[in-house]
Structure 1
Amino acid sequence: MSDGVVAVLITVLVLDLRPPEFPTFESLLSLWPTWLSYLVSYLFIAIVWINHHHLMRYATEATPNLVWFNFAHLFSVSLLPLATAWMAVSELAPQPVAFYAGVFFLVNATYICLIHELIDRAPVDEVLPRERKIMHFRSIATLFVFAAAVVVALKYPLFGLGMCICCLIVYLKPEAPGARSEVRGA
Structure 2
Amino acid sequence: MRRQDIGVLRRATPERVSGFSDGVFAVLITVLVLDLRPPEIATFEALLSLWPTWLSYAVSYLFIAIVWTNHHYLMRYATEATLRLLWFNFAHLFSMSLLQLSTAWMAKSELAPQPVASYAAVFFLVNATYICLIWELIDRIP
TM range (shorter): 0.7 to 0.9
Q: CA deviation at 1:121?
A: 2.9
Task: Name 1:135's counterpart in structure 2.
Answer: none
Match among 102, 110, 113 for residue 121 of structure 2: 102
Match among 45, 48, 65 for residue 26 of structure 1: 45
SS in 1 for 2:80: coil
- Tell me which amino acid in the other structure corresponds to 1:70: N
Task: Name 1:88's counterpart in structure 2.
Answer: 107
Q: Distance in 2 between matches of 1:48 and 1:120?
A: 21
Query: Which runs of no fewer than 5 residues in structure 1 stay unpaired?
Result: 124-186
SS in 2 for 1:2: helix
Q: 1:119 to 1:54 in 2, by over 3 A?
A: farther
Q: CA deviation at 1:122?
A: 2.2
SS in 1 for 2:115: helix
Answer with 1 or 2: which has the greater Rg: 2
- Tell me which amino acid in the other structure corresponds to 1:117: E
Query: Which runs of no fewer than 5 residues in structure 2 stay unpaired?
Result: 1-19
Q: CA deviation at 1:119?
A: 3.0
Does residue 59 of the first structure (1) align with residue 78 of the second (2)?
yes
- Tell me which amino acid in the other structure corresponds to 1:95: Q
Q: Distance in 2 between matches of 1:119 and 1:18?
A: 43
Quote the RMSD (CA, aligned, Å). 0.8
Question: Where in structure 2 are the equivalents of 1:1-186 lying within 5 Å?
Answer: 1-123=20-142
Q: CA deviation at 1:24?
A: 0.4
- Tell me which amino acid in the other structure corresponds to 1:110: T
On the 8 A contact 1:55/1:119 being kept in 2, the answer is no
SS in 2 for 1:52: helix
Q: Distance in 2 between matches of 1:6 and 1:49?
A: 7
> Could you tell me the percent identity over the aligned residues?
85
Give the aligned length. 123
- Tell me which amino acid in the other structure corresponds to 1:49: W
Runs of 4+ in 1 over 4 A off after TM superposition: none
